[in-house]
Structure 1
Amino acid sequence: MEAARGWLVPGVLPELCFDEFFLKFNLLDVPCLKLALSKALGFGIIAGSVMVKLPQIVKLVRAGSAEGLSFKSILLEMLALTGTMVYSITHGFPFSTWGEVLFLMLQTLTIGFLIQHLGGSTAMGFLFLGGFFSLLAISLSPVVPMAMITAMQATNVPAIVISRLIQATTNYRNGHTGQLSAITVGLLFLGSLARIYTCVQETNDSLMMVTYVVSSACNGLIVAQLLYYWNARPTGKPPQQHKQQQQKKKKN
């Protein structure tokens, strides 16, 4: 039991809840149950985030095109993710409340590079990578005052809104969602919804809660567009089956 205590306390459960569950066998303690559920959701979100944007990355590489994706939207998303991670680290929040941001940030960074690379601007892609890591190093250094870090987190709300509106506008103008991955967008929407609960339970930080509420609403907008434009195709690019039918006709 002491070995289990070393694994679970305090990273997964506070000592009080560990005693309630494993020593007193009080498995119906409501506050501890809520916290345990929050921790389970948090670690589940983190585990899912490791692969949440991989379908988008694979889709871009296979297509050899980043059509339908907005680099401006990626920049704003990176700003929001960076602000959340730096804010969480400096405030000492548990990894279970923000860990997915690290993996989402790395994957979004990859997508941003691919947009530039596939668009014929590889040098700009490397400049984007270098600029980001420089900004991150400065943000995590002691030279940045806490007030500035809080301001970075506060800008997340408008950054998220603008980034999603840019993507939504791009989808509307194109009349399709291009190379957007339905799996990635759907998982991001579900993850942001779950984060509202974990944030309330573990941080009770109003700024973080507002960020996740706004993020859920904006991700929901992109999900709605994916459903609306589900059968839409980029102009001049017929579906593969139609291409095959045309080839058969030519052979006949």
Structure 2
Amino acid sequence: MMHPFTPARGGSRGAAALEGKPRFPSPESLQPAPPAGSRGVPGTAERLKLPQIMKLLGAKNAEGVSFLSLLGELLAITGSLAYSVARSFPFSAWGEALFVMLQTVTVGFLIQHYGGRTRRGVLFVLLYIGVLSVLLSPLAPASVLTAMQASNMPAIIVSRVIQAATNFRNGHTGQLSALTVIILFAGSLARIFTSVQETGDILLVVTYVVSVACNGLIVAQVLYYWKPTKKFLQRSTCDEAI
């Protein structure tokens, strides 16, 4: 299976300038691996954050879901998407990033909307569309795309740490979807084994090990704060009823 950032055949905008640059692991290292029989085809990614979106819509509340953490994750996803498109990689190489990006932007808007900042949420979406349009256009320097790609893993790690700090400060995980968190953890764990079998690349394996550690921290918090979170959600429901 072609690694998402293995140079594809054929030229493209910025391909020459990007040629010879080191390959970096994708932000999907924290996302579930494509299910067997559909590798390279967006599958689980299409529904990855739907549990989170549905939970926010149902509760009409985004308490506990860090917007700053989401921005870090969105930075990594956007870097992967723009870099892959610039290199003319097949859709199978960046399709997951596209689906996850759309869902992440939706969650970002909902965080602002349910926080009483709907206008700021709309502005966030419009600004992101503008930035993405530039990154996907010939105006985007190859050096910028490469730098964004290189910052993927640090951005993801920082975003997870920010969410973990938010959970610790609140003493609960709020409206954070346990299902989405567990899927992320299971996916990153699975990718350790698939990367060993398919690539044998030590750097790639270490990257996925770090991914497991980051996602494992959030999963541990979801379990540790399960009762406090349940009480918080019940209290929030009662407050809304009043």
Structure 1 length-normalised TM: 0.70
Any unmatched runs of 5+ in structure 1?
Answer: 1-36, 244-252
Corresponding position of 2:188 = 192
Corresponding position of 2:58 = 62
Distance 1:142 1:193, change over 3 A: farther
Q: Distance in 2 between matches of 1:222 and 1:150?
A: 29
Whether contact under 8 Å (2:174, 2:232) holds in the other structure is no
Determine whether 1:171 maps to 2:171.
Answer: no
Q: Distance in 1 between matches of 2:102 and 2:172?
A: 27
Determine whether 1:95 maps to 2:96.
Answer: no
Q: Distance in 2 between matches of 1:73 and 1:42?
A: 28
Q: How many residues align?
A: 203
Deviation at 1:39, TM superposition (A): 7.2
Q: CA RMSD in A?
A: 3.0
Deviation at 1:95, TM superposition (A): 3.2
Q: Distance in 1 between matches of 2:102 and 2:53?
A: 11
Corresponding position of 1:7 = none
Relative to its length, the structure with more helix (as a share) is 1
Corresponding position of 1:183 = 179
Whether contact under 8 Å (2:188, 2:212) holds in the other structure is yes
Counterpart amino acid of 1:100? E
Deviation at 1:50, TM superposition (A): 1.0
Q: Distance in 2 between matches of 1:98 and 1:199?
A: 21
Corresponding position of 1:137 = 133
Counterpart amino acid of 2:56? L
SS of equivalent residue, structure 2 residue 138: coil
Counterpart amino acid of 1:101? A
Q: Which has the higher contact order (CA 8 A, sep 6+)?
A: 2
Distance 1:177 1:86, change over 3 A: same
Corresponding position of 2:3 = none
SS of equivalent residue, structure 2 residue 73: helix
Q: Which deviations, in whole Å up to 9, do the C-alpha atoms of 1:219-252 show, x marking residues without a partner?
A: 2211121122122237766469xx7xxxxxxxxx
Whether contact under 8 Å (2:172, 2:232) holds in the other structure is no
Corresponding position of 1:42 = 39
Distance 1:134 1:87, change over 3 A: same
Whether contact under 8 Å (2:62, 2:114) holds in the other structure is yes
Deviation at 1:43, TM superposition (A): 4.2
Rg larger in structure: 1
Whether contact under 8 Å (2:35, 2:43) holds in the other structure is no
Determine whether 1:222 maps to 2:218.
Answer: yes
Determine whether 1:105 maps to 2:101.
Answer: yes
Q: How does 1:237-252 map to 2 (within 5 A)?
A: 238=234
Whether contact under 8 Å (1:73, 1:164) holds in the other structure is yes
